[in-house]
Structures are given as C-alpha cells and as structure tokens.
Amino acid sequence: MNLSEAKDRLAHYGQEHLLRFFDTISQTEQHELLTEIAGIDFPTLERLIHEWVLNEPAPEKFDRIEPVPVIPPVEPNRADAREALDAGESALRAGRVGCMVVAGGQGTRLGFDGPKGSYPVGPITKNTLFQYHAEKIVGLNRRYGCRIPWYVMVSNTNADATQEFFRANNHFGLRASDITFFQQKMMPCVDDSGKLILEERGRLAMNPNGHGGSILALVDEGIVQDARKRGVDTLSYFQVDNWAVKVADPYFIGYHVSRGSEMSSKVHRKRAVRESVGVHCLCDGQYRVIEYSELDLYPQLLETTSSGAPVHFAGNPAIHILSVEFIERVYREFATFPWHRAHKKIPYINEQGQLIKPEKPNGYKFETFIFDALRLCKSAPVSLEIREIGEYTPIKQFDGDNSVMSARRLQRDHWADWFDAAGSPVPRNRDGEVIIDLEVSPAFALTKDEFVARARDKKWKTEGPLAIFADGTTASLLPLH
C-alpha cells in the first residue's frame, strides 16, 4: 500500500490521525506503518467500534440456561471409558491426531521477559513449559508408534523468539519437520472515542486477535492442509500456560471420535460459583461458555444446590479437541464469530508526539475466544469432566491463584502420589503436605501406571528434591522454596 492509498483508506474510516507524524519518521518506519495499515480489517474494526465502543452493547438474553451434559471423570474400569480408550488409542496409532498449542499471547500478568512457553517452570530442572509439552509428545510417539505433528501458534509479539527458542533447544528431541509454527493476526486497539492509537510515531498499538484467531490462522497459514496431507483429522488443542495439561489424551480423543463430536471440551468442577473461570452451559439450547466477568448478567449461573455446590459447575480449563473439517467450516463462518472487548491502559503518543502512560483504562482491545466455536457445532459437543490435579495448572502470574507457585504445589502433590505408588514414599509434614520438590519428565512416564511400571527396578532416595529425566536418570539440585 502506498501513502496515497493509505490516506484514502484512513479518510474513509475517519482515522487520518495515524499519519500525523509520517513525515518525521524514517523510511523503514514509514514502510512498516503502511504495512500495518494495509493489514487492518477495517470493516470488522468499524463494526466493533460501533457496537462496543460508541455504544454500550445490551447483554444477550436467554430464556433458559441449563447445565451441559457432562461425562464424569474417567474411571479406567468403566465400560464407556474402556471403549473411549480403545477408540482414542486407535486414532493415535493410525496417525490421525495432531496437537496445537496456542502460544501467541502477551503474558502480561506473568511479566516474564520472553515467550511464556520459555518460562522455566520446573523447580529443580528449570525445564520450560515448551520442554514439558514437547516431552509429552515424545512420550506419546513412543507409546503409540506415531509421529504426532505439533502446530505452535505464535504472534507478532513472540514469533521470532519462540522459533529461536525451539532451535536453540534442538526441538526438545522432536523432529523439526514435525513442528510447524503459524502466526495469528494482530488487532488494533482503539481509544475510548473509537480512534486507533499510535504507540510510537510510526507504530500502531495492537494486540494478538485472541486464541479464537487460531481458527483463521490454521487455514490461512496452511496448517489444516498440512494436517490433511499427513492424514490428521483431529487436533488436540491446549494453551501453553497449562503446565499439567494431558496433551492428546487418548480417553478424550476416544470420546470425541466415537461420539461424532466436532469440538469437545474438558470441564472441571467449580467449587464455588464465584470461581474465576468461564462456565460451560446450554443457553436456549445452544452450547456456550459464559465468562466469569459476565456471571452477574445471568443470575441462574449463581444458583447452588442444597449443599452449596454450583448447579452450573462445568468450569472451562481451555482444553479442547477440534476436528479438522470443523475448523474449515468455522473458518468459512468466521464473520459470525463474536468478539470480546477489554478496557485497558494503553500507552499512546499524544498530539505533541510525547509518549503518555495512562493511569486508568483509556481504550479497548478486542479478542476472539476459541470456546465460541462450540456454538457452531452441529453435533452435540462432548464435555468430559477432569480432576484438576494432574491436568490443570494454568500459569497467569508468579504467585497467588493460577501461578507458578500454585502450579508447582499441585504438580508436587500429583507426582508424590506416583512415587508413593512406585514404592518410594515421599516425606510429608504433619498436615500431610509434601515437603520436597518433585519433577517427572513426561518422556519418562505420562501416567502413574507407566511410572510404576518403569520404576519397577528403581529405588529412589526421596529425602530431598528429586527430578526424574526422560531416560530415568535423576537430579536433586535445589532446596524447596
């Protein structure tokens, strides 16, 4: 796009101020700014400004909100679970399953200098989230004799750093040709009056377009085509910050494929109605996830049973399976996909060219969420309940709820159970809390049964911190903190 085309387009949408400093920036910056302007989806943006910024949208109204039907947590001896395992394992062995991780977010709350996936989450090994997820795939490949392709979604904010991180770590033992990076699009932020924002004289304030943007990127960047070429028709979706997530869980895949689901979700049981997770429910018969920030709009979602438990208990841990065909259909229908707004403090360049860091929210960022695809399913989505321990440890910040520290505690308890079962009991304090750090490489064992079987000829000293590597060797480096 050249300057005069940019002027025309901006004038059409009332955003001419973006070129205010054009004459004062370098040629490279001019080129980059024009490229950013050319990439903006102005019709969508105009609609969002109209609906979300210049007007206060009325919340959707529903006559009926009902709990979603949920498959109870897997019990290996239950007949339906045995059948699901069979179906899931067959799909994995046949090479029908791929994995996708969304890792394009900005990770602002964690405040870590680098892609969130490169956060050294292991308390002893300092192994990163990416390494942990990669080792899960190594474990699955070994168990099922397959080569699961791994699709890694990045964004403009971390694409280069992420790819370099994988290269520097030799792709964590996976074949480079089985890992494909794909980039989601960015969405411009707007101020409270609907004007686009310059964060530098020649750069727009933008954010990645949300994990729902994966639907667009999977098709635009050729991922679904690659999947089809490899014979993959089912994708296991997870988020990079869930350390414990079971990647391509055979039970979950089995329920998904055998019930003809297009998109399936794991759900976890909320303990309190105000727990800060989205809720899976049926709104006038349509599958929805209502964000926790919207709970007050729908009082039914605050109802409790006589024992005080939430009636709508199906919390959203953001673990899904999507069929490739479904992704292609949602892509075609993406114009109907809902957007969400967040009021944020967005630094900006004022008319005098100075950088201002606002103290209160001054503008909006727009995002799409993958769970909104559930409402487009033609067949009933499968919802499988999980027990949080060993499956759900999202890392949003360093300490507190959903943090590095809480995740380490949960993982420690999870693995302590494995060590106990393998005949290497773990020391606990009087309250029963595990008092040493523990880590187990998923490439050594993916499940407790696998761990016990592989540990048969091993006796570990569990008086101090203990990490088990992929090959069964150990380290005991750091004290508990």
From 90, 106, 258, 276, residue interacting with ligand UTP (rule: CB under 6 A): 106
The CB-of-151 to ligand UTP minimum distance in angstroms stands at 12
- Phi, psi of 401, deg, nearest 5: -70, 145
Please give the structure tokens belonging to residue 46: 């105009």
- Rounded CA-CA distance 388/401 in Å is 14
From 81, 85, 153, 277, residue interacting with ligand UTP (rule: CB under 6 A): 153
From 9, 82, 93, 109, residue interacting with ligand UTP (rule: CB under 6 A): 109
Spell 444-464 as b/e; 16+ CB within 10 A means b: bbbebebbeeebeeeebebee
- Phi, psi of 67, deg, nearest 5: -65, 150
Please say which residue, 119 or 444, places its beta carbon nearer to ligand UTP: 119
Residue 427 and residue 462 in contact, taking contact as beta carbons nearer than 8 Å: yes
Q: At what angle do helices 129-144 and 79-93 cross, to 10 degrees?
A: 90
Residue 270 lies near ligand UTP (rule: CB under 6 A):
no
The CB-of-95 to ligand UTP minimum distance in angstroms stands at 26
Q: Convert residues 232-251 into a mask of x (bound to ligand UTP by CB under 6 A) and - (unbound).
A: -------xxx----------
Please say which residue, 22 or 292, places its beta carbon nearer to ligand UTP: 292
Residue 165 and residue 118 in contact, taking contact as beta carbons nearer than 8 Å: yes
Residue 116 lies near ligand UTP (rule: CB under 6 A):
yes
Minimal CB distance residue for ligand UTP: 105
Place of tokens 């292991």: 122
The CB-of-111 to ligand UTP minimum distance in angstroms stands at 8
Residue 265 lies near ligand UTP (rule: CB under 6 A):
no
- Per the DSSP assignment, residues forming a β-bridge with 190 are 196, 364
The CB-of-318 to ligand UTP minimum distance in angstroms stands at 7
- Which residue type does 47 have? R
Residue 103 lies near ligand UTP (rule: CB under 6 A):
yes
DSSP designation for 398: S
Residue 210 lies near ligand UTP (rule: CB under 6 A):
yes
CA 120 to chain centre: 18
The CB-of-213 to ligand UTP minimum distance in angstroms stands at 6
The CB-of-309 to ligand UTP minimum distance in angstroms stands at 26
Residue 159 lies near ligand UTP (rule: CB under 6 A):
no
Torsion angle defined by CA atoms of residues 331, 335, 337 and 343, in that order, rounded to the nearest 10 degrees: 130
The CB-of-437 to ligand UTP minimum distance in angstroms stands at 24
- Phi, psi of 182, deg, nearest 5: -140, 145
Residue 315 lies near ligand UTP (rule: CB under 6 A):
no
The size of the interface with ligand UTP (CB under 6 A), counted in residues, is 22
Interface residues with ligand UTP (CB under 6 A)? Answer: 102-109, 116, 153, 155, 184, 208-211, 213, 239-241, 367, 396
